[in-house]
Amino acid sequence: MAKVQVLNVAVLDNPSPFGNPFQFEVTFECMEDLPEDLEWKIIYVGSAESEEHGQTLDSVLVGPDPAGRPMFVFQADAPNPALIPESDAVGVTVVLITCTYRGQEFIRIGYYVNNEYTDTELRENPPLKPDYGQLQRNILASNPRVTRFHINWEGCAEKMEDSENVDPAPNAMLPPSCTPGKAPPLGLVPDNSMDCL
Amino acid sequence: TFDVCKPIFSVDIHPDGTKFATGGQGEDSGKVVIWNMAPVLREEDEKNENIPKLLCQMDNHLACVNCVRWSNNGLYLASGGDDKLVMVWKRAAFIGPSTVFGSSSKLANVEQWRCVMILRNHTGDVMDVAWSPHDVWLASCSVDNTIAIWNARKFPEIVMTLKGHTGLVKGLTWDPVGKYIASQADDHSLKVWRTMDWQLETNITKPFSECGGTTHVLRLSWSPDGQYLVSAHAMNNSGPTAQIIERDGWKTNMDFVGHRKAVTVVKFNPKIFKKKQKNGSTPKPSCPYCCCAVGSKDRSLSVWLTSLKRPLVVIHDLFDKSIMDITWTLNGLGLLVCSMDGTVAFLDFSQDELGDPLNEEEKNAIHQNIYGKSLAITMGSQLSSTIIENPEMLKYQQERQGNQNPNGAQASGPENQTPKLTNVLNGESLEDIRKNLLKKQVETRTADGRRRITPLCIAQLDTGGTAAVNSIGMKSNLLLTSASKIEPMKALDSRFTERSKATPGVTSVPLTIGITPLDRVKDSSSVKEPKGKDETSSDSEDKIVVKSMTKRKGEMEGAEVVEKRKKGRPRKDAKMMPISQPFPQVTFLLSKDASLLKLPTPSIQKSFSTQVSTDGVTYLEVENEVSVVSGSRLSQLKWSREGREWDTLLPSRIIIATGSSDVVAVACEDRTLSVFTACGRRLIPSIMLPAPMSALHCSGHFVMALTASATLSVWDVQKQTALVKNESLNPILSGTEATVSQSFLTRQGVAVVSLSNGKTYCFNSSLETWNLIADKQDSLVQCTDFRSCVSSQDALGSMGPLALTQGRNLSAGRLASRLSSTPHHLQQGMTLAFLEKQLASALILLSASEYRHWLLIYARFLVNEGYELRLRELCQDLLGPVHKSSSSSWETTVLGLRKRDLLTEVLPVIGQNLRFQRLFTEYQDQLELLRLK
């Protein structure tokens, strides 16, 4: 059984300029004292087309985690524009928060992110070379997509005991390919991978 | 999506009647759900949006849940599933409601139930679980052909694995007297095992020889008077039956006949009934009888009274699929039935229909009559014969039993209880905390340079203590479908009349009614009312009214619930021990050579401020070189508390400033130490230090100084005496690579120094020694297990310097004991050694509250584990000599606590173990004697 349940993730400083650091306030619950730290990561999916533009913004160890309800703020620097294809700078993409325990990912939280110019002039005639200074990042905080995975909480990844364990698919949350400004289709994630009610 | 109706395999009503649990298949896991009973019982509650229907959902089982059972005391829920696990759940009292993050339906868990134990033993699906009377044992059976008997007082200890079945074991029931446990399996047998030696008492095969393994479960049941055991699926003349087995000689002469398909579940009503006296008729002596519900694969339910030859009522087509489990309400008038089709039905009888339930006294009288003892005081077989000699002892025994059976007292509904959230927020609101969390949270770098955040714990998980509930507004849409028809079963017949002879003392179950022709049953199934209320069917003798037999499709999964958030009320938590000053988080480097031991000094800052003392927020602000007067540079110290403030000037730059509620101490660059009162008056002329100051602490009117040459001094500035004089840290530092990681001063003036190697020492000024009080590497800590000796009040009592130095480590130790499988005797020894160490440490730290805390745990441990000699020694020391003698060096107090008061607290603990009743009496009498003097 999962020893950690994520209770809430609040997106702070949102919307904000593109260059501002990401801030997520994470509240979770530990069923018992965890002997090892949890590792949290923020991954920015730079391009809908390809995985190679995904960049891990930061990873952080969180611990000690006593039984109860701990919370923390995970702050990570904004993505490096150099790693984002110019064509994908404006529009909808995805930011992922993952958590691993003993090297096994047990939760992946995905948010759609919309990057657009605040200036109407720029919005209508976007420059060929994206002006990151003018871009605003808006995270769709109300719509997290959560995927949970069964892991072996007692040992490490090799000694998986439950047969029905699902390997965390790298594409569990694909960024939607849609035009900027439009609400992204949320039906992309297969419903059976959601561990909700 | 439309697959809202996942099979429900099990249902069980909580002993207090306010809730019930269901178990079955979830989305991709097993599912246990706890429901509120009130909306099921009362229509107005069902419609009331403020009354929650669903209390908690747990999807921790990896595969389908086959059985859920509440313990008799109502504190625990056990569940068994296809994932081979048995989970034991307990209510977490101090955590508020929570939603499932990321879930589309914002459905809150109103109550928080936590898995406190996972019992792993079975190698196949767990099919049934059952708590023994008085919750001494928990039994589980599995398709691995075995039955595990778990020690419910010491999970996960296995008392015995019962082997003998050669097929899948699918049902279990305990004898209410506690002498036997019966199991039914696919191997065409029903076995009765003795609890005395866990050997087979009898093996019944004849009624099952024709049975095929076609049912998912075989839930058998024992009658509340203990006289009859009724099996699930049996066969008689190629027809499915429920076999009645008499306790007396295990005879199998009778059965319940009539179901068209295999019987999956039999459940006796917990009450014994007697015939209701009719108005006007002459009161004739009526014999008590039992009531039993039978569910079958044929989707129908029959309810029988042992005084009637024919079923009291039969309900056909109650469900779309097989009945899986039945549970009665405690008052015996209602029952819940669950089905493979994913629904649960509630049936309600009136007292006219079932008769008058006997009260506990009458029930005990019957037991007394049959078994020569009342079940109410039967505690495990071993102690039942012990006579309680001392009335005080009896009181504690009764209290103890009262605690174990709190059914009556705590039967308040979930609606009228208030939340009990233990927030660790120290008086701050969650909002305030959140505002500053990013700034406040501690972030460090690990050895390999990675960021590490220490999360802030905003609520403690506490599964101890009694349950508390948040009342959360909920709305739900329930679909009411019309009730199914109620009609008598055609070939249904009980062969009760074939009883060979009356069992002695079993006059309770007479079989007086003759054959009732079927055509005397009128009105059957003719009345149908859309809401399913008040359907009536009557028979010539007894009018049968089945009320509110509502079938609520989709209720189990499809309930759409809207959640209203309720904010947790933050409460100042006692566990955040007020420390007189913040720990300087400076790590000092030390050279190996003892003679050159040097602790680094903090660098001089232009200005800094610190917060001191906890009663009222006090700030110390330092501004170095604030002005230059005739060549000498002056530094300013400013003190402020709630608007009041003072400042003073010092001729040298200030390195460290600290204070307590009573004094303020300041160390300067010129190796002087100045001490002021809280009002700013200088207490003593500057103290000249032998070396620059490395760390400085104040607590009360004590001042502690650690110098750069690794020496420690502690002064009582009020009495103007030295408690510790320039004592070297050499004894604790030499031979190690360790550095000082932390130091502080307790309120009693004991200096505590923690090293980077995990060891913490305090300096004992009377012995003039350094004493080891905590060691993170101590294997004793890792292996101790005294959880059973910690009461809920104790959890809060453990505050003080000792808890401060070892706090987290301790809980880790308890965790380790849960995970590791240290042999019991070894663990016992280690726990004893550990507890004694704690006591001694609390004593040396002069921490009275902690001493009392550990003393009580120690006493409880000695009582539980039966250490008589140590217990006697402890009592003797606390009691002291009864008659005054000049030669005695006995002190009447320890750390300001009166020893005899402590003994008064320890005695009730001793009183809980009957084994020590002589000891108890001995000291109780002496205490009494002293009190009279």
Higher pLDDT: B3 or B238? It is: B238
Cβ count near B490 (within 10 Å): 11
For B570, half-sphere exposure in the C-beta direction (CA atoms, 13 angstrom radius) is 14
Q: Please give the residue of chain A at the shortest CA–CA distance from B814.
A: A33
Cα–Cα distance measured from residue B69 to residue B565, given in angstroms and rounded to the nearest whole number:
31
Q: In a 3-state reduction of DSSP, which class is residue B387? A: coil
Cα–Cα distance measured from residue B144 to residue B193, given in angstroms and rounded to the nearest whole number:
18
Picking from A23, A33, A69 by the largest number of B CB atoms within 10 A of its own CB, the best residue to mutate is A69
Closest CA to B743 of B715, B703, B779, B778: B703
User: Residue B863's beta-bridge partner residues?
Assistant: none
Residue B195 per-residue DSSP state: T
Inspect the interface and report whether the beta carbons of A195 and B1 lie closer than 8 Å: no
Picking from A71, A109, A145, A151 by the largest number of B CB atoms within 10 A of its own CB, the best residue to mutate is A71
Q: How far is CA B228 from the centre of its chain?
A: 34
| H-run or E-run covering B114 | strand B113-120
For B532-546, write each residue's pLDDT tens digit. Answer: 333 333 333 333 333
Residue B462 has pLDDT above 70, yes or no: no
Cβ neighbours of residue B201 under 8 Å, at least 6 residues apart?
B180, B192, B193, B194, B250
For B258-293, write each residue's pLDDT tens digit. Answer: 898 999 999 999 999 888 665 555 555 568 889 999
Contacts of B567 in chain A (CB under 8 A): none
Work out the pLDDT band at B887, boundaries 50, 70, 90: low
CB A189 within 8 A of CB A145: yes
Picking from B453, B557, B567 by the largest number of A CB atoms within 10 A of its own CB, the best residue to mutate is B453
Inspect the interface and report whether the beta carbons of B103 and A197 lie closer than 8 Å: yes
For B491-519, write each residue's pLDDT tens digit. Answer: 344 443 333 333 333 333 333 233 333 33
Cα–Cα distance measured from residue B548 to residue B558, given in angstroms and rounded to the nearest whole number:
21
Angle B824-844/B848-865 helices, nearest 10 degrees? Answer: 160
Contacts of B63 in chain A (CB under 8 A): 164
Cα–Cα distance measured from residue B894 to residue B892, given in angstroms and rounded to the nearest whole number:
7
What pLDDT shows up at residue B97? Answer: 56
Inspect the interface and report whether the beta carbons of A5 and B446 lie closer than 8 Å: no
Nearest to B458 among A33, A69, A197 (CB): A69
Closest CA to B34 of B77, B87, B96: B77
Q: What is the mean pLDDT of chain B?
A: 75
Highest mean pLDDT among B307-321, B471-485, B881-895: B307-321
Q: What is the pTM of this model?
A: 0.48
Q: Among B143-147, B530-534, B829-833, which is the least confidently predicted range?
A: B530-534
**Residue with token string 């003593």:** B684
Inspect the interface and report whether the beta carbons of A146 and B103 lie closer than 8 Å: yes
Nearest chain B CA: its distance from A94 CA (Å) = 16
For B299-346, write each residue's pLDDT tens digit. Answer: 999 999 888 888 889 999 889 899 999 999 888 899 999 999 999 999
CB B258 within 8 A of CB B490: yes
Q: Provide Rg for chain B, Cα atoms.
A: 35
Alpha-helix residue ranges (DSSP H) falling in B447-600:
555-558
Residue B228, amino acid? Y
Whole-Å CA distances, B833 to B7, B762, B837: 51, 20, 6
The number of C-beta contacts closer than 8 angstroms across A and B is 135
Cα–Cα distance measured from residue B549 to residue B348, given in angstroms and rounded to the nearest whole number:
7
Cα–Cα distance measured from residue B469 to residue B418, given in angstroms and rounded to the nearest whole number:
6
Handedness of CA B512, B517, B522, B528 (dihedral sign): positive
Nearest to A1 among B60, B450, B452 (CB): B60
Token pair for residue B631? 């060549």
Picking from B25, B421, B438 by the largest number of A CB atoms within 10 A of its own CB, the best residue to mutate is B438
Contacts of A162 in chain B (CB under 8 A): 62, 83
CB B532 within 8 A of CB B494: no
Contacts of A8 in chain B (CB under 8 A): 101
Q: How far is CA B755 from the centre of its chain?
A: 36
Cα–Cα distance measured from residue B590 to residue B735, given in angstroms and rounded to the nearest whole number:
11
Q: Please give the residue of chain A at the shortest CA–CA distance from B438.
A: A73
- Altogether, the residues listed in chain B come to a count of 933
What pLDDT shows up at residue B782? Answer: 65
Give the strand pairing for B19-25 and B313-315: unpaired
For B803-815, write each residue's pLDDT tens digit. Answer: 777 764 455 445 4
Residue B800 has pLDDT above 60, yes or no: yes
Sheet with B169-174, strands from edge to edge, namely: B169-174, B180-185, B189-194, B200-204
Token pair for residue B82? 């296809």
What pLDDT shows up at residue B384? Answer: 41
Nearest to A196 among B98, B100, B441 (CB): B100
Closest CA to B635 of B645, B648, B646, B618: B648
What pLDDT shows up at residue B139? Answer: 95
Inspect the interface and report whether the beta carbons of A73 and B102 lie closer than 8 Å: no
Cα–Cα distance measured from residue A10 to residue B512, given in angstroms and rounded to the nearest whole number:
70
Say if residue B156 is preceded by a cis peptide, omega within 30 of 0: yes
Higher pLDDT: B50 or B1? It is: B50
Nearest chain B CA: its distance from A67 CA (Å) = 6
Inspect the interface and report whether the beta carbons of A66 and B459 lie closer than 8 Å: no
Mean pLDDT on B588-592: 38
Higher pLDDT: B631 or B520? It is: B631
Closest CA to A166 of A104, A84, A116: A104
For B677-690, write each residue's pLDDT tens digit. Answer: 888 888 888 888 88
Nearest to A33 among B27, B63, B812 (CB): B812
Nearest to B105 among A25, A33, A197 (CB): A197
For B566-587, write each residue's pLDDT tens digit. Answer: 333 434 333 333 333 333 333 3
Inspect the interface and report whether the beta carbons of A72 and B456 lie closer than 8 Å: yes
What pLDDT shows up at residue B364? Answer: 78
- Altogether, the residues listed in chain A come to a count of 197
Nearest to B101 among A8, A58, A162 (CB): A8
Q: Among B122-131, B315-324, B665-674, B786-795, which is the least confidently predicted range?
A: B786-795
Q: ipTM of the assembly?
A: 0.77
For B627-659, write each residue's pLDDT tens digit. Answer: 776 667 788 888 888 778 888 888 888 888 888
Phi, psi of B497 (to 5 degrees): -65, -15
Mean pLDDT on B7-31: 89
Contacts of A71 in chain B (CB under 8 A): 434, 437, 455-456, 458
Q: Please give the residue of chain A at the shortest CA–CA distance from B97.
A: A7
Inspect the interface and report whether the beta carbons of A68 and B460 lie closer than 8 Å: yes
**Residue with token string 């029930």:** B363
What pLDDT shows up at residue B692? Answer: 86
Nearest to A61 among B105, B450, B459 (CB): B450
Cα–Cα distance measured from residue A86 to residue A79, given in angstroms and rounded to the nearest whole number:
13
CB A39 within 8 A of CB A141: no
What pLDDT shows up at residue B336? Answer: 94
What pLDDT shows up at residue B376? Answer: 45
Q: Please give the residue of chain B at the shortest CA–CA distance from A155.
A: B819
Residue B547 per-residue DSSP state: B
The list of chain A residues with pLDDT below 50 reads: 158-172, 174-197
Cα–Cα distance measured from residue B378 to residue B274, given in angstroms and rounded to the nearest whole number:
25
Contacts of B62 in chain A (CB under 8 A): 1, 150, 162, 164
What separation, in Å, do the N-terminal and C-terminal C-alpha atoms of chain B show?
79
Residue B557 has pLDDT above 90, yes or no: no
What pLDDT shows up at residue B338? Answer: 94
Inspect the interface and report whether the beta carbons of A63 and B452 lie closer than 8 Å: yes
Q: Please give the residue of chain A at the shortest CA–CA distance from B808.
A: A66
Work out the pLDDT band at B616, boundaries 50, 70, 90: low
Residue B144 has pLDDT above 80, yes or no: yes
Closest CA to B394 of B927, B930, B926, B921: B921
Angle B899-910/B868-879 helices, nearest 10 degrees? Answer: 150
CB B478 within 8 A of CB B46: yes
CB B214 within 8 A of CB B208: no
Exposure string of B521-551, with b = 16+ CB inside 10 Å and e = fewer, is beebeeeeeeebeebebebeebebbbbbbbb
Contacts of B114 in chain A (CB under 8 A): 31
| H-run or E-run covering A76 | strand A68-76
Residue B106, amino acid? K
Nearest to A196 among B104, B451, B452 (CB): B104
Nearest to B455 among A62, A191, A192 (CB): A62
CB B888 within 8 A of CB B877: no
Cα–Cα distance measured from residue B517 to residue A137, given in angstroms and rounded to the nearest whole number:
81
Cα–Cα distance measured from residue B718 to residue B478, given in angstroms and rounded to the nearest whole number:
73
What pLDDT shows up at residue B926? Answer: 86
Nearest to B438 among A69, A75, A109 (CB): A75
Token pair for residue B205? 């095969």
Work out the pLDDT band at B414, boundaries 50, 70, 90: very low
Cα–Cα distance measured from residue B148 to residue B311, given in angstroms and rounded to the nearest whole number:
35
Contacts of B60 in chain A (CB under 8 A): 1-2
Q: Among B39-48, B140-149, B427-436, B484-493, which is the least confidently predicted range?
A: B484-493
Inspect the interface and report whether the beta carbons of A63 and B460 lie closer than 8 Å: no
What pLDDT shows up at residue B455? Answer: 85
